[in-house]
Chains A and B, each alone.
Chain A
């Protein structure tokens, strides 16, 4: 049997007396798999994702990347946040280039080339010299994605990155993100509480309980919806059915206090 690419092994997490991740969390993620962590707000799914980034340490257990114990954050695992996802004092090109700022293995020309390449990939080639305050929230999120790709991250950790966007932009960006994932394959952990978003994006959905987080279900979406996710997928019967199924599961998980 081959080693899993990203392996959460026997994880527990508590802050003081509050248990955030119930003992013991196990998860194996394949190389280039698009995994969505779905669960109610504040359930501990973000904490788990941050552990993979090295931004939190588990109370017990360990996380292995490619068979190696993960250490403090480095550029192999890039973060895309919901807000403050790009630096306002840098242009869009500057923000993408920032991903490579501490790389000494690339020449200045290579950096420039990569910067242009990833800006084009996320459709921002024409906005390279704009500052983030002059572009839409969706564009800012695309810049953040381009930055992590330019940095050379192998794992993308996305913390509700489209949560602050309006519905139309969100749909568009979700489709684009799937395209980017197809073109420039990466392992993605995407955290959200939005069921529709989860179903649309995921190869695989991990459904979490309320805090402390426990895995309630591990759903294989890829075999139902396939790898290509055009926006029109949203109008298809199989999409509805899966969404309803997941929605009921999440409702049950959220309990009856709301």
Chain B
């Protein structure tokens, strides 16, 4: 009797076997987990495939190389412009502009956002105005900012600031508002005063989320850069791209765009790493 059940058990195990091999296959199914190695391989492979298709299409004459210079040419131009022309200088100027404008946004948005979330009176007063300005497209404000500030550095900084401050202040207010009530009540019941709670608890607790908000907003700053630098600039990546366009140097235009992409990607990765380092307790 016991022998019989034992063989039955073995039988049951054997029956399960093919089902198990069936489940490994479904890693390509709906919502199935994909092994990380395969995921990376697919991601890299597809990108390369796309570039190859582009390269081949131009070489075969299916695409006009005047409008669609192949990736190989764009990359070699990028290298030349970096090594022998002054692309690095222009990239530096652009980066500086972005960081100055972003710094101004942060310096204003953090205190205002925190106060907006902490004191509903302030929030109620500012939210409609900020929400309105937030939806104004930055390019639409170019003429106004030229009237106000001329065509110098101020205008460019102002436009970048305009594009980020009003978004960031709401993000910061939201981050501040997400501090769990429990934290605040813990602080009250060990004898903290509102000001101390703000500094020791709210600010500390919102820091990781706020850091993420900074990272996202910094990305937007770069999207407004071109608009700002097209406005009568004589330096910066936007200027490089716009000048190349005038002479129909399509490869240079693309190289400029790629340069912005690379700077954005690298900054983002650095900030992500920094986030992991700073907030190891998460």
Question: Closest Cβ of chain A: how far from B216's Cβ, in Å?
Answer: 22
User: Cβ of A53 < 8 Å from any Cβ of B?
Assistant: yes
* Cβ contacts A81-103/B at 8 Å (1 or 0 each): 10111011100000000111111
The secondary structure that dominates the B interface is helix
Q: Give A residues with C-beta under 8 Å from B.
A: 53-55, 72-75, 77-79, 81, 83-85, 87-89, 98-103, 131-133, 144, 147-148, 151, 153, 157
Tell me the bound Cα distance from A101 to B199 in angstroms: 13
Q: Which residues of B contact A75 (CB under 8 A)?
A: 189-191
Contact residues, B225-282 vs A (CB, 8 A) = 279-282
Q: Which residue of A lies closest to B279 (CB)?
A: A89
Residue among A55, A74, A85 making CB contact with B191, cutoff 8 Å: A74
Residue among A53, A89, A132, A148 making CB contact with B204, cutoff 8 Å: A89
Residue among B190, B193, B207, B282 making CB contact with A133, cutoff 8 Å: B282
Question: Closest Cβ of chain B: how far from A130's Cβ, in Å?
Answer: 10
User: Cβ of B57 < 8 Å from any Cβ of A?
Assistant: no
Q: Are B196 and A102 within 8 A (Cβ)?
A: yes
Q: Which residues of A contact B281 (CB under 8 A)?
A: 88-89, 131-133
Tell me the bound Cα distance from A100 to B205 in angstroms: 19
Question: Closest Cβ of chain B: how far from A125's Cβ, in Å?
Answer: 20
Q: Are B183 and A87 within 8 A (Cβ)?
A: yes
Q: Are B182 and A148 within 8 A (Cβ)?
A: no
Q: Which residues of B contact A131 (CB under 8 A)?
A: 280-281
Q: What are the nearest 6 A-B pairs in CB distance?
A: A84-B182, A73-B188, A75-B191, A131-B281, A84-B180, A102-B191
Q: Which residue of B lies closest to A77 (CB)?
A: B189
Tell me the bound Cα distance from A192 to B185 in angstroms: 19
12 A-B residue contacts at CB 8 Å? A55-B185, A74-B191, A88-B281, A99-B190, A100-B190, A101-B192, A101-B200, A133-B282, A147-B190, A148-B189, A151-B191, A157-B189
Q: Which residues of B contact A144 (CB under 8 A)?
A: 186
Tell me the bound Cα distance from A53 to B182 in angstroms: 13
- Kindly name the residue among B190, B196, B205 whose own CB sees the greatest number of chain A CB atoms within 10 A: B190
Interface residue count on the B side (C-beta < 8 Å):
21
Contact residues, B169-184 vs A (CB, 8 A) = 180, 182-183
Q: Are B188 and A98 within 8 A (Cβ)?
A: no
**Known contacts A79-B186, A133-B281: A87-B205 contact under CB 8 Å:** yes
Q: Are A102 and B190 within 8 A (Cβ)?
A: yes
Q: Which residues of B contact A147 (CB under 8 A)?
A: 186, 190
- Kindly name the residue among A75, A89, A133, A151 whose own CB sees the greatest number of chain B CB atoms within 10 A: A89
Q: Which residues of A contact B180 (CB under 8 A)?
A: 83-84
Q: Are A73 and B201 within 8 A (Cβ)?
A: no
Q: Are B189 and A87 within 8 A (Cβ)?
A: no
Question: Closest Cβ of chain B: how far from A147's Cβ, in Å?
Answer: 7
Tell me the bound Cα distance from A138 to B111 in angstroms: 37
Q: Which residues of B contact A153 (CB under 8 A)?
A: 189
Q: Which residues of B contact A77 (CB under 8 A)?
A: 189
Q: Which residue of B lies closest to A153 (CB)?
A: B189
**Known contacts A84-B180, A87-B201, A89-B281: A55-B190 contact under CB 8 Å:** no
Q: Which residue of A lies closest to B182 (CB)?
A: A84
